[in-house]
Structure 1
Amino acid sequence: MEYFAGLDVSMEETHICVLDRDGTLIREGKARSSPDAISDFLAAGPTCVGVVFETGRMAPMLYHGLTERGIPVQCIESRQAYQALKSLAGHKSDRNDARGLAHLARTGFYKPTHVKSLSAHAIRSLIAARKKLVGQRVTIDNQIRGLVVVFGVRLPRALSPAFKDAALKVSNGVPGLHAALNGLFAAREAILAAVAAIDADVKKTARKSKTCSRLMTVPGVGPITALAFAAAVDDPSRFRRSRDVGPYLGLVPRRHQSGEVDYVGSISKRGDTRVRTLLYEAANVMLTRYAGPLKLKEWALATGARSTMRKARVALARRLAIVLHAMMRDQTEFQFA
């Protein structure tokens, strides 16, 4: 007899349900949300040929930890699991969710999703931290502009040295404003130092990676874009075709078809927002700053002439995703011709 398990994971505890092939309840209970505790719980019962749980913050750690312990675990996209679990139980509870996931495991009515490696998640954490810090710096800059504009002063570009000098000059003789600006500028300097340290780490990591070094030969693709794309793809072989990367990143038009209705809208914007934004920025750089002859650029400009430049940038970003994936998969250099 074959046995299957479903795991409903939370930060502290994981509800576990074990069913046989016919759907008969064999065992259920709770364990601490760690690979060791879950593995011990499963080892105390019959050997399971399939273990299923949903994507979430704990998914990478649990997936790789359980896989290392020889447990045949699969991760399901949470949106797919949500729709399936609604039809299996009238009341939502952790216990019912675990039982529903076990039913999905025994029926095979699910599509497993790729769980990125921990090294890829580490790179994504670095890029996410940088974006958050840059956002905080922009927030502080806007706050400083808002404080001094009351006194009739419009500050220059935030990253120029004159920005701080002009702001502090306005605050001379105004005790409350001077104290406020000093505090904001102290926080701003700390954020700029942290961003500079992350930038140095990003460049160092990109230089050490042969894959990123190849990706950076594409005009418009820098260290951050190369690292973010490599971390998002993680394993190039999981995509059957390079053209599948565009839908994965939400760079293809959204479509709704039902009977006589066939609607094609704007891009779906599904997937990794950060990588999609970086590819769009890389496409814009290629179109506006790269002066050399390039077939990709000529193709995008022709697309913009027929439609709009915004659609040309989106189309070029989608084409860049295809090119970058092919370079990762085949370990080839970018062809300028």
Structure 2
Amino acid sequence: MEYFAGLDISMEETHVCVVDREGTVFHEGKTASMPEAIATLLAKAPACQRIVFETGRMAPMLYHGLTALGLPVVCIESRQAYQALKSLATHKTDRNDARGLAQLARTGFFKPVHVKSLPAHAIRALIIARKKLVGQRVMLENQIRGLAVVFGVRLPRALSAAFIDQALRASKGINGLSAAMEGLITARTAVLSAVAAIDADIKKMARVSGACRRLMTIPGVGQLTALAFTAAVDDPERFRRSRDIGAYLGLVPRRYQSGEVDYIGSISKCGDRRMRTLLYEAANVMLTRYKGPLKLKDWALALARRSTMRKARIALARRLAIIMHAMLRHGTEFKAA
């Protein structure tokens, strides 16, 4: 007899359900959301052919932990699971969700997703932290400008020493404003130090990575873009064709077809939003700042003359993603000709 299991995971507890080939519930329980605890609970039932759970914040840790313990775990797309679970039970409870996931594991009606390695998630965390800190820096600077302009002082847009000097002079001798300015400037200095520390780590990681050094031979691709792309792809072999990376990053047109209706819209914007932004910025740099001869740039400029510059940037970003994936997969460098 074959058995299948479904795991409904939360931060503290995981509900487990084991069913047989006929769909009859064989074993149920709940335990702590840790790989060892889940494995111990599953050991009380016969060995399962497939163990299914949804994507989420706990998915990477549990997937790699349970895989290391020798369990046949599969992580599935949460949006598909949500639609399926709505039709399997009237009431949404953790117990019913675990039962529904077990039924999906039994029938095979699911879409498995690739769970990135923990080092790739660590790089992604570093990039996200940098983005949040840069956003905080911009917010603090805008707040400083907003406070100063009330008193008729327009601070420079450039991030220079004059920015701080004028901000302090504007608030000097004004009770309340002086303390507010000093507090905001102190916070901005701390954020700038944190961003500089993260940039140093990114530079070090990109320098020791052969894959990142190869990607940085592409005009417009810097350390941050190269490192983010290697983390987003993780395993180049999981894409059968390099052009599939465009759909994975949401850089292909969205399409809706039903009967006589066949609508092609803007890009789907699914996948890693930050990676999509970095590729767009790299394409813009190649089009506006790179002065050397480059067939890829000429192709994009010709597209811009037929359509718009925005569409040319998107198309070039998609082409860059395809080229970068091929470089990672085959270990080659960029050829400008």
Normalized against structure 1, the TM-score is what?
0.99
The RMSD of aligned alpha carbons is: 0.6
CA distance in 2, matches of 1:307, 1:175: 56
1:211 is matched with: 211
2:336 is matched with: 336
Q: Residues 54-69 of structure 1 correspond to what in structure 2 (within 5 A)?
A: 54-69=54-69
Q: Percent identity of the aligned residues?
A: 75
- Give yes or no for contact 1:141–1:158 (8 Å, CA) kept in 2: no
Q: Residues 125-274 of structure 1 correspond to what in structure 2 (within 5 A)?
A: 125-274=125-274
1:50 is matched with: 50
Measured after TM superposition, the shift of residue 158 of structure 1 is: 4.3
Amino acid at match of 1:153: V
Measured after TM superposition, the shift of residue 239 of structure 1 is: 0.5
SS at match of 2:270: coil
CA distance in 1, matches of 2:49, 2:330: 34
Q: Deviations over 1:91-126 (max 9, x none)?
A: 100000000000000100011000000000000000
1:39 is matched with: 39
Amino acid at match of 2:234: D
Amino acid at match of 2:152: G
Measured after TM superposition, the shift of residue 259 of structure 1 is: 1.1
CA distance in 1, matches of 2:190, 2:247: 39
2:310 is matched with: 310
CA distance in 2, matches of 1:190, 1:160: 16
SS at match of 2:155: coil
CA distance in 1, matches of 2:153, 2:309: 36
> Structure 1 stretches (4+) deviating beyond 4 angstroms?
none
- Give yes or no for contact 1:50–1:73 (8 Å, CA) kept in 2: yes
SS at match of 2:243: helix
Does 2:18 align with 1:15? no
- Give yes or no for contact 1:23–1:103 (8 Å, CA) kept in 2: yes
Amino acid at match of 1:96: N
The 10-residue stretch of structure 1 (151-160 or 125-134) with the greater mean CA deviation from structure 2: 151-160
- Give yes or no for contact 1:280–1:313 (8 Å, CA) kept in 2: yes
CA distance in 1, matches of 2:144, 2:190: 16
CA distance in 1, matches of 2:304, 2:160: 34
- Give yes or no for contact 1:255–1:264 (8 Å, CA) kept in 2: yes
Does 2:89 align with 1:124? no
CA distance in 1, matches of 2:63, 2:131: 27
Measured after TM superposition, the shift of residue 254 of structure 1 is: 0.8
Structure 2: which 5+ runs fail to align?
Answer: none
Measured after TM superposition, the shift of residue 17 of structure 1 is: 0.1
Does 2:312 align with 1:322? no
Aligned length: 337
1:281 is matched with: 281
Normalized against structure 2, the TM-score is what?
0.99
Structure 1: which 5+ runs fail to align?
Answer: none
CA distance in 2, matches of 1:9, 1:177: 49
CA distance in 2, matches of 1:156, 1:313: 30
